[in-house]
Structure formats: C-alpha cells, structure tokens
Chains A and B, each alone.
Chain A
Amino acid sequence: EVQLLESGGGLVQPGGSLRLSCAASGFTFDNFAMRWVRQPPGKGLQCVSSINENGGATYYADSVKGRFTISRDNSKNTLYLQMDSLRADDTAVYYCTKGYSTYHSDWGQGILVTVSS
C-alpha cells in the first residue's frame, strides 16, 4: 500500500522559511516523479512543484519560482520542499503526491502551512 506522510508544517511569519518533508513507502520511490500540490483554506488545488525520478528535472509554478526548492533523497525515500520568503498567500494545506504520467496517482493526508504575523 502506498503511503505518503508529510511533516514540517506549522506557523511561520511572513518572510520566514519552512522545509516540508514527505516520507514515502509501499512503492519503488526512485521509479516515480513526485509533486507538491497545495490547497488554500476553502479553495481549489494548485500544483506548485514537480521533480522527476532522479531529481534532474524540476518544475515550479510561477507563484513560487525563486522562493521554493523541491528535492528528493532516493536513498531515504523522501521528498522535500524548501520554502523561503514565505508570504500570506502561501498559507495552504500542502500535499505530497506520487506522479503517474501527468497525473497524481496517490496523495498524502496533507500538512498545514500558515504564514501570519
């Protein structure tokens, strides 16, 4: 069974930083692209970042480009999202997802990031 467990969220002041982690199990981690999708409270879904199987190719939404960095450690079956220069509009539940082609085949339970003073 695929399991994706996010951690590292919480309350941070505007301009601050957080690093999210996603521990993956139940599948061969280095065979799949991985992504981060966020959902602001009461709103819809946005894919903010994606990374290919070996970490050699990454994608960022325009709204986070230059501030967020996605990475992975295939030896630890773990996905990361380093979030710097956080703004109030980054407040959201962040989901780790397992890629299947250009879709999201499995999702974690989500972790809340709140940016507020």
Chain B
Amino acid sequence: DIQMTQSPSSVSASVGDRVTITCRASQGINNFLAWYQQKPGKGPKILIYTASTLRSGVPSRFSGSGFGTDFTLTISSLQPEDFATYYCQQGHSFPFTFGQGTKLEIK
C-alpha cells in the first residue's frame, strides 16, 4: 500500500496568516492527489483534486501543488471558517489511502 505522510500533525495560526501543509507519498503517484477539509462532527469535504484543481465553490485562497511524491496545500489568508482538520488522499492505486491528518488550530 502507498503510505501518505502529512506534516505537521497540528499547527496553530491566526486569522490572516498564510499556512502550508505538506503531504509525502511513499512512492510516486503522479498528480493523483486530493485534499479534504473536515470540521468536527461532519463528513469531509473535497477541496482540491489532481493535486491542484480547485473544486467548484471552494474559495481561491486554497491552492495545491506538487507532483510525484511531494505535495502542498496552501491557505493564503486564513479565515475563521478554515480552522479544521485537513487530509490528503492518493488516488493512484488501490487502496486509495489517506494521510493521518493535520489539525489547524487558532493561535
């Protein structure tokens, strides 16, 4: 199975900050990567797929990049509603594994 490792596991930031979360795959996955946001008690919501394609309706302050094994999710200017847990997921081969999550907390 492809292992997905996110860093950091948690991060504290303030409204207006720029935040970057990284995700590393244990083997190359081309650009078959998605990012999800999950708020407490809710199902995750897809933000980005194929590494950099923003899902319709997702604010443009979210962006993704990367190819192969290393990927990033960047939030350019944090808003109060962005404090949540973020997961990456590889879509290259079964099983489609997730990273362990990054909890974004208010400083």
Contacts and interface: CB of A to CB of B under 8 A. Distances in A.
Contact of B89 (A104, A108, A109, A110): A104
A106 B95 CA distance: 18
A50 B42 CA distance: 21
Contacts of B97: 46-47
Given A44-B87, A45-B87, A101-B49, A95 B96 contact: no
B49 A47 contact: no
Interface residues of A, number: 20
B99 interface: yes
Interface of B: 32, 34, 36, 42-46, 49, 55, 87, 89, 91-92, 94-101
14 contacts: A44-B99, A45-B89, A45-B98, A46-B97, A59-B94, A59-B95, A95-B43, A100-B46, A101-B91, A102-B96, A103-B34, A103-B46, A107-B44, A110-B43
